[in-house]
Structure 1
Amino acid sequence: MTIGTIILAAGDASRMGGEVKQLLVYKEQTLIRRTVETAMALQRGPVVVVLGANRDRIAGELTDLPVTLIDNPAWPTGQASSLKTGLAALYLTHKDIDAVLVLHVDQPMVSLGLLLYMVEVNDDQGKGIVACRYDTQLSVPALFDRTYIDELLQLKGDKGVKWVIGRHRDDCSEVPFEAGAVDLDSRRDVEQFRQAYLAASSGELLSDE
């Protein structure tokens, strides 16, 4: 199965107090590079990174990697525009993909093992969507069969993949991923994450680059 991965990294992280979220460092890597390298390690197909705010600074982290960088000038309108930009980039170059994997950069606990397990669940259960469950939600990382591409392209504004997942719960396999609740949306989130992992090695401590 060929999987096209879309990494959504266009937002300006307005609640980060001026810091560029994508460039925060965890385990000696920026979040954006860590996410991209994890997606590449899956070795199932092309990887597209959607950029917007702080494009030049973020792109500089990825210039040596064989991924497609695409700019979304409409990123302020909401996540849907970035998702559609990523889908367009995938489809223009890889019309034969079987599924689409959607990742965010602000979930530092996403691992290759998780992504491999999602693919395994997809193979075993044969449903059109595989989504991760944490807290009370089903969300990203999420894997969609190509039959959902048209519906994903219809999203507008702040409607994201969760909206599509919610409409098709009967066609969705769930993967438990409690660590997915670690979502670095604000400086407070970063500080809480740092405190939670103070017992870990210094290489694991989240910090500004």
Structure 2
Amino acid sequence: MSTAGIVLAAGDGSRLGGRAKALLPHRGRPLLHTVAEALLGGGCDEVVVVVGAFGEEVAAACPEGTVAVRNPDWAEGMSTSLRRGVEAARAHDRVVLTVVDFPGITTGLVRHVLEAHRPGTVTLPVFADRPGHPVVFDLADARTAAGEATGDEGARSFLARNRDRVRRVDCTALADAGDVDTSEDLRRLR
């Protein structure tokens, strides 16, 4: 099965004072590298990085094995980035969806959710019963979720409507599920 990773990295980082989260320093390099390398090392054949507000800078920082896809409609919400990413991944059988502000992502976490995935389901990692990333979709489900998404919700409503097909996989021991939204989160990142 061919697999594409999709990294949603188009936001303007308004809660961080207008900084590109993808370019935040993490372990001596941009946070985007940590996320992309976890996806590639965990089993993705390619990684699509959806860029927007800081498109040129983030695209220039994309590591080898990734392709930047521009989303000119990024200000309309995450749903537009989801659509762009899924469309760019259309040649693959399944997608692994994540956000760029997830410094705790690891190859082991990605590998675990991919191994747990079964066709016809959506694999959702949970951390102490809280849903998180990366989420694994068959391509058909990813296309449906992207087509139905509105505003800044991403795939949330698709997951809610298809609860019976969502496989919740406990990943609490595999990663710190915290994301980077505030200056306090940024201090924790270092």
Partner of 2:153, secondary structure, is coil
Aligned equivalents of 2:142 and 2:95: distance in 1? 8
- Partner AA of 2:124 in structure 1: A
CA deviation map 1:50-106 (0-9, x unaligned) = 0001111112212x5132211001001000000001111122xx1xx2211101111
Structure 1 counterpart SS, 2:61: coil
Aligned counterpart, 1:164:
158
Give the C-alpha shift of residue 158 in structure 1: 1.3
Q: Counterpart in 2 of 1:138? A: 131
Indicate the residue corresponding to 1:118 in structure 2.
113
Identical aligned residues as a percent: 29
Please state if 1:30 is matched with 2:30. Answer: yes
Shift of 1:161: 2.0
Corresponding letter in the other structure for 1:120: E
Cα deviation 1:137-166 (Å, max 9, x = unaligned)? 323210011231332222111121232222
Counterpart position of 1:90: 89
Structure 2 residue runs of 5 or longer lacking an equivalent are none
- In the alignment, what sits opposite 2:169? 175
Alignment of 1:1-209 (within 5 A): 1-62=1-62, 65-91=64-90, 94=91, 97-123=92-118, 128-134=121-127, 136-152=129-145, 153-178=147-172, 179-191=175-187, 193-194=188-189, 206=190
Letter in 1 for 2:111: L
Give 1:171 shift: 1.0
Structure 2 distance, partners of 1:67, 1:79, is: 20
For 1:186 and 1:21, locate their aligned partners in 2 and report how far apart those are by CA, in whole Å.
10
Structure 1 residues 189, 90: closer, same or farther in 2, change over 3 A? same
How far off is 1:127 after superposition? 5.2
Report if aligned partners of 1:140, 1:161 keep a CA contact under 8 Å in 2: no
The normalised TM-score by structure 2 is 0.89
Matches of 1:24 and 1:44, distance apart in 2: 23
Number of aligned residues? 187
> Residues 21, 170 of structure 1: CA spacing in aligned structure 2 closer, same or farther, 3 A cutoff?
same
Conserved? CA contact 1:138–1:165, under 8 Å:
no
- Partner SS state of residue 152, structure 2: coil
Q: Is the 8 A contact 2:78 2:152 kept in 1?
A: yes
Gaps of 5+ in 1: 195-205
* TM-align CA RMSD: 1.9
TM-score, reference length from structure 1: 0.81
| Higher Cα radius of gyration | 1
Counterpart code for 2:151: G
Structure 1 residue 135: Cα displacement: 5.2
How far is 1:180 from its partner? Answer: 4.8
